[in-house]
Amino acid sequence: MKKVKRVLVVLLAIVVFFVCSVGASASKVPVDEMGYTINEPYDYPIKPGTDEWFKIEDHVEKVKILQIPQDVLEKMTTEALVESVVNYPYLLDMLAFSTQKLGYEAVRDGFNGLQELERRPDGMSCLAKYYEKNQKNLGFVVRSAIQITLDENG
């Protein structure tokens, strides 16, 4: 009977050790001060100019495919979200409307990444920092879309 108790105690100690070590390693996932764990921009499943892009002729269908999955969106750092928004293939649509307000609203209403960026308390400040740091390397269309976004949220 004593041997059985000893075996059970040893097994229990092994289980406790295993549970504690798994919990400790899980806590080593990089987390920023806001609790976000994804610090890479979203890799869109289809990209302009590719065969996959041209196979889908319906604009509405492409917009659906380009949405950032909600579980990814909620875990992205604001910096990664900013880059994801800047890389959004239809960001340039902001420039296709009669006013910048209409263009901005059309893109925002169809893209969950831009909606999330608006919701974040640091969203526009991170976008402004990104713009300041990268404006010389950005094309005219992207610079214009960022300026519109900042203007509409200023």
CA atoms within 13 A on the CB side of 149: 30
Same-domain pairing of 10 and 63? no
Same-domain pairing of 61 and 108? yes
Instruction: Please answer whether residues 82 and 117 qualify as being in contact, where contact means their C-beta atoms are separated by less than 8 angstroms.
Output: yes
Structural domains of the chain, count: 2
Tell me the sheet residues that pair with 38: 76
More confident site: 148 or 21: 148
Mean pLDDT of 87-115: 97
Q: Would the pLDDT of 33 be above 80?
A: no
Same-domain pairing of 16 and 90? no
Same-domain pairing of 94 and 24? no
Q: Would the pLDDT of 143 be above 80?
A: yes
The pTM for the full model equals 0.78
Least confident residue range of 4-8, 45-49, 83-87, 145-149: 4-8
Same-domain pairing of 68 and 25? no
- What is d(CA 136, CA 143) in angstroms, rounded to the nearest whole number? 9
- Give the tens place of pLDDT for each residue, 73-93: 999 999 999 999 999 999 999
Instruction: Please answer whether residues 106 and 93 qualify as being in contact, where contact means their C-beta atoms are separated by less than 8 angstroms.
Output: yes
